[in-house]
Amino acid sequence: MPFPGKKENMKNLLLSALAVFLLSSPSIANDVKGKVIAVIDGNTFKVRSNDNQIHKILLVGIDSPELGQEFGREAKKFLEKMILGKTVTISFRGSDRNGNPFVEVRINGTKDPRIELLKEGLAWTTGDNPPQHLEQYRATAQLRNKGLWRQSNPTPPWIYRQEQNEMNQKSI
């Protein structure tokens, strides 16, 4: 029997690594319960799960102003009031480019903080192909001039981050 070649070894190594990753990561289909221990900004926080793991997570489908933007601190405070210290159920829906999980969150099994942030005008729906079930709340807040929609031309956080990165690169 011939020895496997480099290509076959690489394929086996990648499949093994994928299997280990999938077995050690929370399953996309599984819900995890935990307590919110920190709020980082208007759509990012940390949860200590019932198995004592700490997860830094991002709310899927929305993006709140950054802390350096107008309404960024308001979004963080609003989210803190809503979820800090509470037990939540998180449902994993993917991850960002840094590996931070995107999640849906339920407080007491029902309340969705994404909807509450959108209603108050403290978040955008994600830029490309926004979730339609969330977009209606954003649009209503905009029509009512709630929160960040009081501004004549608010800068979306993904544009703000891009501008900040460009400024930082120029100063190096």
Tens digits of residue pLDDT in 56-95: 999 999 999 999 999 999 999 999 999 999 999 999 999 8
> What domain range includes position 80?
27-162
In contact, 48 and 34? CB cutoff 8 Å = yes
Cα angle value 130/90/157 (rounded, 5°): 40
In a domain, 66, yes or no: yes
Residue 40 main-chain phi, psi, to 5 deg = -90, -45
In a domain, 168, yes or no: no
Q: With bands split at pLDDT 50, 70 and 90, how would you rate the model's confidence at 110?
A: confident
In a domain, 3, yes or no: no
Q: How many CB atoms lie within 10 A of CB 10?
A: 11
In a domain, 6, yes or no: no
Is the pLDDT assigned to residue 37 strictly greater than 60? yes
Cα angle value 19/35/26 (rounded, 5°): 10
In contact, 70 and 123? CB cutoff 8 Å = no
* CATH code assigned at 91: 2.40.50.90
In a domain, 134, yes or no: yes
What is the pLDDT averaged over residues 17-30? 46
User: Which neighbouring-strand residues pair with 82?
Assistant: none
Cβ-proximal residues to 137 (8 Å cutoff; 6+ apart), any chain:
115, 118, 119
Quote the pLDDT of residue 10. Answer: 54
Quote the pLDDT of residue 22. Answer: 42
Tens digits of residue pLDDT in 133-159: 999 999 999 999 999 999 999 999 999
In a domain, 17, yes or no: no
**Low-confidence winner among 17-26, 41-50, 63-72 (lowest mean pLDDT):** 17-26
Quote the pLDDT of residue 108. Answer: 84
**Low-confidence winner among 11-15, 27-31, 110-114 (lowest mean pLDDT):** 11-15
The whole-model pTM stands at 0.79
Left (φ > 0), alpha (ψ -120 to 50) or beta: where does 53 sit? beta
Rg (CA), the chain: 19
Domains held by the chain: number: 1
In a domain, 172, yes or no: no
